[in-house]
Structure 1
Amino acid sequence: MIVIGRIDKIDLPEFELFDIDAKVDTGAYGSALHCHHVKITERNGKPTLEFMILDPDHPEYEGKVFYTTNFKEKMVKSSNGELENRQSITTEIVIFGKKRRVEFSLTDRSNMRNPILLGRKFLSKKFIVDVQLKNLSYNNKYKES
């Protein structure tokens, strides 16, 4: 297993976003991605999820609208303990130089320090968390072959 700290940086190549801050949270079951303007519309006769990643205050924000027909709706317990209906997508991230698939629930994390949360479902059997450390993947990004 790989040692990961409490915070790291990840890439989201499908969305052309790189070095985005992610909080590693063993207290959260699922992973979450900061989005806004999340809504289900219809395109070409199919239910389509429409969303924007990050927000205008974030340096990597590009104002792009993303669309996918590959999404789920599910109930998620929020950080304040309330159940919320959220949409989720599965996408590829790059961390420690490796591509991995992650399911993210899409939610407004504008009041949080980090736009991405990596939960236990993703971390399990891959990582050991050392809360005294941070940015281990990012610090080793260019050293790996």
Structure 2
Amino acid sequence: MGVLSLFGAKNNSVATHDNHVIIGRLEKVHVMAVDMSKKARIDTGAKTTSIDAQEIETFLRDGKEWVSFTFNNQRIQAPLVRMVRIKRHGGKPIRRPVVELELQLAKITKKVEVTLANRARYHYPILIGRNFLRNHFIVDVNRIFISSSHKLIKML
């Protein structure tokens, strides 16, 4: 049987269960590369985290492929990890670049693989997938924006 507890500062408590942070289906996520927090959809059905990326360009730096893209009017550059093929319902598969970004959700900061996608038609510019959630979070789909602690724990 697990233990449910609250920890943190007086007004910055975070609910936990068996050392997992409890979060809602929508949360604020901090993108460390641009020092900016944005609303994100938490999706346990998605394997990989995805971020809204506009004006995606690849280039060579020191003989290695890099990606440059715009997120919320801020330019980010990162080494290209790989290209993934995404299956689309009723359409041709598309290829998307994958980079590693450091993201913070609740008290957890992790560097994870992120697919770059045009999410302009979606309500939320960030989709948090299982690669970020695994081993650290429990999602309560009945709640939103419940992780307000800003104490950092780096998970490298």
TM-score, length basis structure 2: 0.73
Kindly indicate whether the alpha-carbon contact (under 8 Å) linking 1:49 and 1:71 is maintained by their aligned counterparts in 2: no
- Structure 1 residue runs of 5 or longer lacking an equivalent are 55-62
Q: Percent identity?
A: 26
Find the counterpart in structure 1 of residue 29 from structure 2: 10
Root mean square deviation of aligned Cα: 2.1
Structure 1 residue 65: Cα displacement:
2.5
Aligned residues: 131
Match of 2:65 among 40, 47, 63: 47
Cα 1:15–1:71 change in 2 (3 A) is farther
Match of 1:30 among 48, 73, 92: 48
- 1:87 matched to 2:97? The reply is yes
* Alignment map for 1:51-90 (pairs within 5 Å): 51-54=69-72, 63-78=73-88, 80=89, 83-90=93-100
Larger Rg: 2
- 1:96 matched to 2:106? The reply is yes
Residues 13-57 of structure 1, C-alpha deviations (whole Å, 9 max, x = no match)? 222212x11100112111100011112123455432111113xxx
Find the counterpart in structure 2 of residue 58 from structure 1: none
Structure 1 residue 81: Cα displacement:
6.7
TM-score, length basis structure 1: 0.78
